[in-house]
Amino acid sequence: MRTSNLILLRLGVLCGGPLCGLLLADDLTLGGGARLTGTVRSINEAGVVELASKLSPDPLRLQSGVVEKVEFSAKSASPAPPPALVELTNGDLLPGAIDVLDDTHLILVSPEAGRLEIPRDALKSVQLGVQQRKVIYSGPRSLVEWNGGEEAAKNWTFDQNGLIANGQATASQDLALPLQFILRFTLKWQVKQLPNFQVYFADPLKAKGEPCERYFLRFSGAGLDVKRETTKGKRYIDILQLNRTPNQYPERQLQVEIRVNRKGSRLQVFLNGESEGEFVDPLPAVPDGTGITLASTAPNGSSQEIRDIEVLELDDSRGRHHSEERGDPKSDSLISREDDRWGGRLLDIRKTDDGPIFRFKSDFQKDPLEIPQADVSTIFFAVKDGKVPDEKVHPFVLRLRGEGALSVASCLFSGDAVSAVHPLLGPMNFRRQGIVALERNDPKPKPAPEP
């Protein structure tokens, strides 16, 4: 089974030590779809959950295996991400702000773990320019804002950031989509009913049934696919087809994220947070529409929802640079935000009044380059002896805010603090508020994305 279909936290597989002092209003899903709300006080090594609940004056003790999922409440909205993302040689990720670098260590200031001293030999890469993405749209906020008003939005009802379709229904909106954008939404459907969703994007919003240049995602009982619609030649062209049928999602909901890079004619699809791969628009001219259309093609009497719709700006340079060929693994490599590339040695990172300066000795220049951090996109560090080290898989992963992910063999939750031992960095302490999740690490390789 794919990781995206696994429960976020399976109780009974947590790290050594109880999980204490968690936040208020935790939401528990039990076997068979039953739900409880309360305050999780502890999860012991056997997976027994102690829950403070209004149902009982004394804490409830829920046996291991009864609880299928715990969603921990958040104290506040997520802050802006730190400006750098450090990748370690074992693939772990640490968000933070770079202080200095010398021949032996990088000093990183983490909002969750404080000041960290990372051995240079443990560094694989550093991504710079991590920024909070600009939100273009977040909603729905009302029924009126979609499809030109309530009269046109036939068979839709509005409920708390969601549009509920009763049978066949269509709604659209011009969101002034930029050339590069991220579209996110959540699909929900009823028990014993098959979903039938279509979401059109980069849509010119022409009259219904009129051929046009756009993309659309379809999710139904047969699976999920993304197609390219065009006015020339064959009207619909497959971009990807996935055997992701509704029965693979027992909670009857699916989170979708589509990253659209019309500059590069590419789309990347994520389902429940996991990438299904990157795909190329097969036609030379990409759609230039700026709208989105939501469609329910379910039969009358069926009810299904689309909610939590978000559109954000996409700057893909960080991910694009990181995925490119790094060059000679025996040398450091630097890629600028303007796509300049150098191989050689990153001598150091120095603090100045104007921010960190990267001093890089290129293989083709006598004097070192001095590059402000604002102009740096990606640094790849030389692999020791030119060989990729063996990666020992540790059983658990701590998920941090800002895309952080750290492998640990054991950890302890106590009040607002979390302590763990990392295989490369040793003992570490974190703020509990900065921990997003604790998950079992799956050592099995993920299947390649289907075409």
Mean of the pLDDT values across residues 278-290? 93
Q: Which domains does the chain have, with CATH numbers?
A: 3-71 (2.30.30), 96-128+324-384 (no CATH), 135-314 (2.60.120.200)
Please calculate the CA angle 63-398-349 and round it to the nearest 5 degrees: 170
Whether 279 and 226 have beta carbons less than 8 Å apart is answered as: yes
Whether 267 and 276 have beta carbons less than 8 Å apart is answered as: no
pLDDT in tens, 334-384: 988 888 889 999 999 999 988 899 999 998 888 999 999 989 989 999 987
Backbone angles phi, psi at 31, to 5 degrees: -60, 140
At residue 190, does pLDDT exceed 80?
Answer: yes
Q: Which pLDDT value is given to residue 64?
A: 58
Q: Which residue has better confidence, 2 or 207?
A: 207
Q: Which pLDDT value is given to residue 41?
A: 62
Single pTM value for the model: 0.58
At residue 226, does pLDDT exceed 90?
Answer: yes
Tokens of 372: 């402000």
Which residues, 6 or more positions from 428, have their beta carbon under 8 angstroms from its beta carbon?
113, 116, 406, 419, 420, 421, 422
DSSP label at residue 247:
G
Q: Which pLDDT value is given to residue 78?
A: 58
At residue 54, does pLDDT exceed 60?
Answer: yes
Quick count: other Cβ atoms within 10 Å of Cβ 136?
Answer: 16
Range with the lowest mean pLDDT among 78-92, 288-302, 318-332?
A: 318-332
At residue 105, does pLDDT exceed 50?
Answer: yes
What DSSP element (H or E) covers 404?
A: strand 404-408
**Cα torsion at 441, 445, 448, 449 (round to 10°)?**
-10
At residue 74, does pLDDT exceed 60?
Answer: no
At residue 133, does pLDDT exceed 50?
Answer: yes
At residue 390, does pLDDT exceed 60?
Answer: no
At residue 324, does pLDDT exceed 80?
Answer: no
Q: Specify the long-range contacts of residues 270-273, CB closer than 8 Å, at least 24 apart.
A: 271/4, 271/224, 271/242, 271/244, 272/4, 272/5, 273/4
Tokens of 342: 């150098």
Whether 61 and 77 have beta carbons less than 8 Å apart is answered as: no
Q: Which pLDDT value is given to residue 296?
A: 93
The residue ranges of DSSP E strands in 153-280, in sequence order, are 156-158, 162-166, 169-174, 180-189, 197-203, 214-220, 223-229, 236-242, 253-261, 266-271, 274-280
Q: Which residue has better confidence, 6 or 211?
A: 211
Mean of the pLDDT values across residues 238-243? 93
Whether 89 and 123 have beta carbons less than 8 Å apart is answered as: yes
Whether 211 and 319 have beta carbons less than 8 Å apart is answered as: no
The Cα–Cα gap between 424 and 386 comes to: 19
What DSSP element (H or E) covers 323?
A: helix 317-323
What is the layout of strands, in order, in the sheet containing 49-52? 60-62, 49-52, 35-43, 26-30, 67-71
Percent of the chain with pLDDT over 90: 44
CA 2 to mean position of chain CA atoms = 16
Q: Which pLDDT value is given to residue 146?
A: 86
At residue 18, does pLDDT exceed 70?
Answer: no
In this prediction, residue 49 has a pLDDT band, given cuts at 50, 70 and 90, of: low
What's at 260, amino acid-wise? V
The Cα–Cα gap between 277 and 291 comes to: 24
Please calculate the CA angle 81-84-87 and round it to the nearest 5 degrees: 115
Q: Which pLDDT value is given to residue 391?
A: 55
Q: Which pLDDT value is given to residue 421?
A: 85
Helix (H, G, I), strand (E, B) or coil at 116: strand
